[in-house]
Structure 1
Amino acid sequence: MDTVKTEFVVLDERFARCNGDEWMRRLHTGCRWTEGPVYFPAGRYLVFSDIPNDRTMRWDETTGHVGVFRQPSGYANGHTRDRAGRLVSCEQGRRRITRTEHDGTVTVLAERYRGHRLNSPNDVVERSDGSIWFTDPSYGIDSDYEGYRAESEIGACHVYRVDPTTGRTHIAADDFERPNGLAFSVDETRLYVADTQQSPSHIRVFDLADDGTLTGGEIFGTCDSGAFDGLRVDTAGRVWAAAHDGLHCFASDGTRIGKLKVPEICSNLTFGGPRRNELFITASSSVYSLRVNINGAGY
């Protein structure tokens, strides 16, 4: 395991107290494109995707060992952990959302909308009411690199919600070019969604009603380095976004207040550890971590 000097860039005084370890650890390298980090506190391990190699990996916190969790993985991309501690995955290759049960069996949560196959689910989060929200761009069907080349049966890229009672899949937002990372605000009254393909790439914010209805959708923040990918929110309501030069941090009013520089292109992030103050970052061929003085919100 090697280390990289940590560089927090303060752009606004509100970011001045956001810091952490002096050195960032590189937990693993040698992948083709890492994505979808999710931490399981009960087992003290991190699951992440190596998409083009069609495998999901597992890093063990107690030993530092990295091994294959699942291969083939259906070209899995984003993951989350539900309130019951189960793994929920976006399988780009199989064009579906799945849940790995405690006994290891796999349950399909979503794979079609009105009879048509999804494009290639990308990132996923669970709301506290049990609803599953995911984005469905076309990256997994655009080529054979991280999925299987195919024509879109839906003809567009949407944000979806899986109803926790009926299990039905509904379109939550239908005006995106390439929806990607998504995250709820701390109180779950807002939903942030990154649109990677826009120029410039940006994050939009929606007001979220108790019944799952979205309104608004204004631009929350724009990217000044490549494109936005995965998103997470901390307990102070700050939005953290993966970008080409590292992680960008936005205050809840949409001001970019700082950056955490990373030596590779960042794809995603998650807060882990028993107190959610261990920051895990997937970036190009590697996975990084550092202890920070902030805490991630929710799951």
Structure 2
Amino acid sequence: MTVKLSSPSLCGVKTISFLAKLIIAGSMFAPIAFSQQEQYSVHPDSKKQAGVPRGKVTQAKFADSTVYPGTDRDYWIYVPAQYEPGQTASLMVFQDGKAYVNGSTFNALDNLIHRRDIPVMIGVFVNPGVVPPQNENAQTRFNRSLEYDDMSDRYSQFLIDELLPHIERTHGVQFSIDPNLRGITGASSGAICAFNVAWHRPDSFHRIYSTIGTYVGLRGGDEIPTLIRKTEPKPLRVFLQDGENDLNIYGGDWWIANQMMQRALKFSGYELKHEWGDGGHSRKHGNAIFPDAMRWLWHSDAAEVKTHYDQCRNEAVRFLESGENWQLLSDGHGWAEGLAAMPDGTVFFTDVPASKIYRIGTDDKVELFAENTGRANGLRLGPDGLLYGAANGAKQIAAWDPKTAKRSVVAEGVKCNDLVVRHDGTVYFTNPADNKIMMIRKGSGRAVVVDNFSNPNGLTLSADQTMLFVGHFPGRFIYSYTINDNGTLANKQEYYYMHVPSNSLEGHLDGMCVSRDGWLVAATELGVQICDQPGRVHLILPKPRLAKRVSYTAFGGKDWKTLYIATGNRVYKRRTKLTGAQPWRAPIKPPRPRL
């Protein structure tokens, strides 16, 4: 009797006898290496075939990285016979390149290109970097885990901005810049590396072949399935392979981790195929099905990789309009901040170093509203119809008439960053220079300290205006206070748990707003994070490509369903299904959340 766990659609798997599996399962003394027992027949497409033109393989070295200083590495380039110099070609990048430099891989590429199962494609096979030892008694620094297991965008910068341009310049080839014509692959840590490149740079890569992927807790990879579920879907096409006897060690369980990846990708509507076997931590199964995986990744029906909201179950479907993306409204600012909307949906924002305020009409026309603002930062509309601003350069809380731009002073001699105004006219503002949260009662003109708070930044009110939310700028928590009848604060808690980048301990929690039904929408280093009332992140919207960090958020537009964000020198907008709360109006009690 035999058991075959591989999909019948993929050929080349030699089965393991049921008796052998019983013997393995019954062993009580020494573990048996499944990777040594795995046997797979060579796929027909991995064999040399008559009449098929052969590609050319060139080996070289790269030692000029600024992303990974001091490293050198070998790489190989496969150029198919069909490639014509001066033309662009599709691209496939292989991590742990030397492991793929063999007749089987090149035969498969030759055969698949010849039969037009995949486009004319250049292969780049790149090894991880090493920092050579300083002398014969010193240890080499091996960069493989740093480069491959790292969850940040560092390796994608190296590959896309350093290595690939170097190869084009040096070897007289030209890669397509269309992400639909770019794929990337790897095994083990090389697989998570491949996934992360496409995850961080979907503008460069859309196709991923992952075998025995290390989606475990070595350098934060165990968080990827969660981020896939919480992040706005990206146009990626993913083939996953793993075996049930893969590693189960200190960093995690590879077999379970790959299944979690599959379930997360399916949950969020990605273009996905998986092939499970019974092997161990070995390239054998992944190599055996390589031609079929490539054929599926590149078949003509998948000419353009897309997102599929009709198949998506993550919160993007609840909050976002399908097909809507970030739209650039204004560019070239020193540092844009302080988005605030009027009742008609008109939005104002500040350029802090330029001491200017701009107006965005409901027709998206941007015009200068005020100059010499005292480096105004945060802006909010008050119940009296005035536009309140934290003019830290002038050490004032100021107010502008939105029709005439006439300026008045609300409070003097205050250090301030961001502010919010309640429906009763109470102003709360942050003073990060002195680590304080301040309050100005309506008409008093005097600021009083309501709490000591290290590095406060953005703040906003709950929809019912009974709570104040304050971001700890360098941390990962947004704090919640209850507001007493006299306006003072109580019951401070580290309430909203925000996601932070893997290569930083700082969340850069900044300007925020809330929807009428109680969702908190916060600017963070990772992008815009949308949280429920109990303090949990439901959705992450990555910042627009080439944008700086998101520094402010606000709802506006005619129906208050448009989300505006500031990202350093730019301001963007996009349509949502949420409706913004208006703090200057009567409080709104949101519906009870799921706990």
TM class, shorter-chain normalised?
0.7 to 0.9
The reply on whether 1:207 has 2:482 as its aligned counterpart is yes
Residue type of the alignment partner of 2:439: R
SS in 1 for 2:529: strand
8 Å CA contact retained: 1:75, 1:91 = yes
Tell me the alpha carbon deviations over residues 177-230 of structure 1, each in whole angstroms, 9 at most, x when there is no partner. Answer: 111111111111111001113xx3421001112221211111112441331101
For residue 288 of structure 1, the aligned residue among 565, 572, 579 is 572
Q: Does 1:128 align with 2:423?
A: yes
* 1:12–1:257 Cα contact (<8 Å) kept: no
| 1:41-56 matches, cutoff 5 A | 41-42=343-344, 45-56=346-357
Q: Does 1:171 align with 2:428?
A: no
What's 2:533 paired with? 252
Moved more, 261-270 or 95-104: 95-104
Return 52-61 or 201-210, whichever deviates more: 52-61
Q: Say if 1:127 and 1:188, in contact at 8 Å, map to a contact too.
A: yes
TM normalised by structure 2 equals: 0.42
Q: Aligned partner of 1:214: which letter?
A: L
Tell which structure's C-alpha radius of gyration is larger.
2
- Structure 2, unmatched stretches of 5+, are 1-202, 204-230, 234-267, 269-311, 502-506, 584-595
Letter matched to residue 28 of structure 1? S
Aligned Cα root-mean-square deviation (Å) = 2.2
Q: Deviations over 1:112-163 (max 9, x none)?
A: 3xxxxx23x111111111111111123xxxxxxxxxxxxxxxxx22111111
Secondary structure at the counterpart of residue 270 of structure 1? strand
| 1:81 equivalent among 381, 384, 387 | 381
Indicate if the aligned counterparts of 2:383 and 2:422 stay in contact, CA closer than 8 A. Answer: no
Structure possessing the higher relative contact order (Cα contacts under 8 Å, 6 or more residues apart) = 1
Q: Which runs of 5+ in 1 are unaligned?
A: 113-117, 139-155
Q: Following the alignment from structure 2 to structure 1, what is the Cα–Cα distance between the partners of residues 380 and 428?
A: 10
Aligned counterpart, 2:459 = 182
CA distance in 1, matches of 2:390, 2:366: 21
Tell me whether 1:243 sits opposite 2:524 in the alignment.
yes
Change (3 A) 1:201 1:285: same
Residue number among 221, 228, 253 corresponding to 2:496 in the alignment: 221
Q: Equivalent residue for 1:8? A: 232
Give the partner amino acid of 2:332: G
1:40 aligns with 2:342: yes
**Change beyond 3 A, Cα 1:216–1:23:** same
Q: Which is richer in helix?
A: 2
Question: 3-state DSSP class of the match of 1:52?
Answer: coil
Identity of aligned residues (%): 27
What displacement does 1:244 show? 1.8
**Counterpart pick for 1:195 among 461, 472, 481:** 472
Report the secondary structure of 1:17's partner residue.
helix
Q: Secondary structure at the match of 2:232?
A: strand
C-alpha spacing 1:104/1:59, structure 2 compared with 1 (3 Å): closer
Offset at residue 45 of structure 1 (A): 2.9
Letter in 2 for 1:293: K
Distance in 2 (alpha carbons) for counterparts of 1:276 and 1:66: 18
Matched with 1:67 is 367
| Distance in 2 between residues matched to 1:45 and 1:232, nearest whole Å | 16
- The residue type paired with residue 421 of structure 2 is E
